[in-house]
Amino acid sequence: MNVKWEDQWGENFSLVFLVVGFMVSVLLKSSILSYFSIFLAGLLAGRMFYIKHVKEPILPFFLMIIGFLLGYLLGAIWVSRILALILFVIAFGSSYYLHLKKIFVIFKSERFIK
């Protein structure tokens, strides 16, 4: 069985992010910290999606985002999974929209303040 890691890097990283999401959600016992972390993860996922959606194939990054979210929701035992999913989607959408409208800019753009 020859496995080419350079061809399947997206799937492998999505499994890693699934485990990371599960561990983060299990280790956070405070519901406020859990909601804050999933909101922050949604913001970061929206930023990553905005940066990568034009330049590279998006499916591996989408698999990583879904892997983290699925792992987080599987391990979320102290919070409402529906509310966590809603917060992630709101943060993802708002981050993507703010980057799209150039309110948030990436570091290598000319509008970034040095």
Per-residue HEC secondary structure of 74-93 comes to HHCCCCCHHHHHHHHHHHHH
pLDDT in tens, the chain (114 residues): 576 766 777 788 899 999 999 999 999 888 999 999 999 999 999 998 888 887 778 888 888 999 999 999 999 888 999 999 999 999 999 999 998 888 877 666 555 554
Assess contact for 21 and 67: CB atoms under 8 A: yes
pLDDT, position 105:
74
- CA pair distance 10, 75, nearest whole angstrom: 22
Q: How far is CA 40 from CA 4, 87, 113, in A?
A: 33, 9, 22
Q: Give pTM, 2 decimals.
A: 0.83
Contact in structure between 36 and 88 (CB atoms under 8 Å): no
